[in-house]
Each structure stands twice: as structure tokens, then as C-alpha cells.
């Protein structure tokens, strides 16, 4: 009897759980035309911005390109291209738990010590003053939290899909920045955050008239802004009808790997700050001496208004530009020699 009673109670509970929620109701009844009014209360669902950022950090000037072992983080040598870079900083993590797309803004107000000048472009090595060029780089790592060592490898990797093409912002003695620096997709949940990493890099004068001293430093205040945003589908058109080059963006925001021949029209669901690489099409038969890869002569990129989008040439085999959604469509014009 007890078992049957328990089964009956469970059955009633299951029916109640599956039932449509009950709301207050009123009966409209009468002869002839009747009117029923249902007032609706307005509400707005807003995301809660939740990010975790470092509380402090360190920038080391290394004008003599020594093997500096401490870049402000005891768990790694330096988040840099090599440990003898002239400006060294650790890889700093931003953990994002915001469950909406988020626009990241950044500004760097540098404070050089007396006698040190902040350059607005890379130093050439011929400067006679104590000049320092400094900038921040940021990369989106998705849901994978990086360790110190694989971060160092990632920044350094010459064959990485971003290949030193991470979004960058130059340090200034004024609080200048970019409120639309980068857009990241939403975290899947509070227990499944995504991660961004940033570091400070640059170079310095190698032989100023006055020698470098330990008192010569450049500190900085790095200020971030985090604003809920929406993702944009970035569409591309290309007149590259020959097998000259291909586009690479690593992965789009849906996690799909992207390596597309730049032919015709296509679209990726990406965000402002996405780095797009253009590399030659490989040879049709790499084992043949007569089969050659495509050769890129020039790349021209424009947004929907016809304004030029900077396409940077890293070397003969690599160009890149940074997607600036929502300037759609982006037009990519490539000239060169087709692969054979």
C-alpha cells in the first residue's frame, strides 16, 4: 500500500512539474461584443559585465638586449618575441564571465622618467636621445586558459595564424586609446569563461648620447573599458579569380576553422579586431620542381564606404588587416601570379 501511495504521489508531482505555468486570468463573458484588456509590464534584460583583470604589473626596459629573466611574473621569462627584446612585460590575463558579446576598450598613459622620451613609432637604432617605443598587444584565446609557457610560445610562434598581427595600441603620455579596440564573444556560462591576454612590447634607442641608467624607466597606467556589444557578420568580396592567395583567420566566433580561397563572396561571423591574414596559395604539387606557389604582388582592402583599410605587408608571403565591423562588405583586391 505504501509503495502504491508513493507511486501515486510521484505521478502527481511529475504532472504538476510538466504543467503550463499558471497566471492570473479573468473571464470575458456576455452577450454581444465584449472587450478584454491585458496590461503588459515592460522589462529589459541586461547583461552583467564581469571580468577579472590584474591588479598590477611591470614593464622592463632592456636597451642592451640582455637575457632578462624576470618580466614581472615569476612563472615565465617574458611574454615576448624573445627574451632579449628591449621592452619586456608579462602576459596578463583577462577572464571574461560576461554572458553577452563585449567590446573592450584600452588606453595606455605612459610615464617616462626624466630624460626618457616616448617615441610615436618604432625606434631605428639611430636615435641620440633615450627614446622608447611601447605598445600593447591583445589576443583572444577562447575558452582555453593559457599557462605561462604556452603563452610565451604563442606570442613567439612565427607560424601562428596571427603571426605578430595581434591588435595593437601605442602608448602615449596622454590618456589616449581606442574604445572599440576589440570585441569578444559571450561566455557560455559563469562556469565557462573565455580569456584574453595582453602584454607590453616595443623597442628603444640602442646608443643614445647619454648612456642608459637604472633610473631610466617607463611606467604606465593601462585602462580598460568593457561594454556589452553585439556580434556582426563581416562579409567579403574579392576579385581574386586566379589561384594567387587564400584568407586565414584561425577560427570565427562560432569556433569554425577558416581557410578559404579568396574567390567570390563569403562571410564570417566575426568581430571588430579579428585579424585576417592573406597568404599565397600553396603549389598544386609540392613535390614537383615545376609546381610553384602563388605570388602576391599587392593587396588592397576597402570598407563599404570605399575607405581604405590598412593591409600590412609583413613579408612577401604574409599580408594582414584587422577587420573593422560593421563596415560591410569588405572588398579585398589582390594582384599577383597564380600558383602552378
What is the C-alpha R_g of the chain?
28
- The helix (H) or strand (E) run that includes residue 149 is helix 148-156
The pTM score is 0.63
Backbone angles phi, psi at 293, to 5 degrees: -75, 160
pLDDT in tens, the chain (340 residues): 544 444 444 444 444 445 555 567 889 888 989 999 999 999 998 888 999 999 988 888 989 888 776 554 433 444 444 455 788 887 888 999 998 888 888 889 999 999 999 998 888 888 999 999 998 877 777 787 876 655 555 555 433 333 344 567 888 898 777 776 777 778 888 788 988 888 888 889 989 999 999 999 999 999 999 988 766 556 666 555 557 777 665 544 444 444 444 455 556 555 555 667 777 777 777 778 788 888 888 888 887 788 888 887 877 777 877 766 555 667 778 888 888 8
At residue 239, the pLDDT reads 55
Q: What is the chain's length?
A: 340
At residue 24, the pLDDT reads 77
- Domain locations in the chain? 51-228, 232-337
The rounded distance, in Å, linking the Cα atoms of 141 and 127 is: 37
Q: Give the position of cell 597568404.
A: 279
Backbone angles phi, psi at 153, to 5 degrees: -65, -40
Backbone angles phi, psi at 248, to 5 degrees: -135, 130
CA 318-277-301 angle, to 5 degrees, is 95
CA dist 24 → 13, 258, 309, 320 (Å): 22, 51, 57, 59
The rounded distance, in Å, linking the Cα atoms of 70 and 322 is: 32
Amino acid at each position: 500500500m505504501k509503495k502504491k501511495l508513493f507511486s501515486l504521489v510521484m505521478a502527481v508531482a511529475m504532472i504538476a512539474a510538466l504543467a503550463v505555468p499558471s497566471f492570473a486570468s479573468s473571464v470575458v463573458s456576455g452577450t454581444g461584443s465584449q472587450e478584454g484588456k491585458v496590461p503588459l509590464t515592460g522589462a529589459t534584460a541586461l547583461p552583467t559585465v564581469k571580468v577579472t583583470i590584474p591588479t598590477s604589473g611591470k614593464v622592463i626596459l632592456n636597451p642592451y638586449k640582455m637575457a632578462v629573466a624576470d618580466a614581472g611574473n615569476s612563472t615565465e621569462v617574458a611574454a615576448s618575441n624573445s627574451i632579449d627584446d628591449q621592452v619586456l612585460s608579462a602576459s596578463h590575463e583577462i577572464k571574461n564571465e560576461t554572458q553577452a558579446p563585449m567590446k573592450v576598450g584600452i588606453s595606455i598613459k605612459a610615464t617616462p622618467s626624466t630624460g626618457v622620451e616616448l617615441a610615436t613609432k618604432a625606434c631605428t637604432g639611430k636615435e641620440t636621445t633615450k627614446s622608447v617605443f611601447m605598445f600593447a598587444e591583445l589576443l583572444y584565446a577562447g575558452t582555453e586558459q593559457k599557462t605561462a609557457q604556452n603563452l610565451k610560445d604563442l606570442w613567439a610562434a612565427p607560424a601562428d595564424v596571427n603571426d605578430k598581427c595581434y591588435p595593437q595600441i601605442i602608448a602615449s603620455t596622454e590618456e589616449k586609446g581606442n574604445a572599440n579596440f576589440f570585441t569578444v564573444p559571450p561566455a557560455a556560462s559563469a562556469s565557462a569563461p573565455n580569456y584574453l591576454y595582453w602584454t607590453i612590447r616595443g623597442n628603444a634607442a640602442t646608443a643614445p648620447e647619454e648612456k642608459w641608467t637604472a633610473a631610466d624607466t617607463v611606467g604606465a597606467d593601462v585602462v580598460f573599458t568593457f561594454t556589452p556589444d553585439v556580434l556582426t557578420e563581416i562579409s567579403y568580396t574579392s576579385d581574386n579569380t586566379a589561384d594567387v592567395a587564400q584568407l586565414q583567420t584561425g577560427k570565427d566566433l562560432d569556433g569554425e576553422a577558416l581557410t578559404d580561397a579568396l574567390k567570390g563572396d563569403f562571410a564570417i561571423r566575426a568581430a571588430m579586431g579579428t585579424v585576417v591574414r592573406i597568404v599565397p596559395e600553396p603549389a598544386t604539387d609540392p613535390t614537383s620542381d615545376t609546381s610553384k606557389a602563388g605570388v602576391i604582388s599587392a593587396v588592397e582592402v576597402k570598407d563599404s564606404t570605399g575607405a581604405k583599410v590598412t593591409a600590412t605587408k609583413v613579408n612577401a608571403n604574409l599580408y594582414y588587416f584587422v577587420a573593422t565591423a560593421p563596415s560591410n562588405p569588405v572588398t579585398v583586391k589582390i594582384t599577383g601570379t597564380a600558383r602552378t
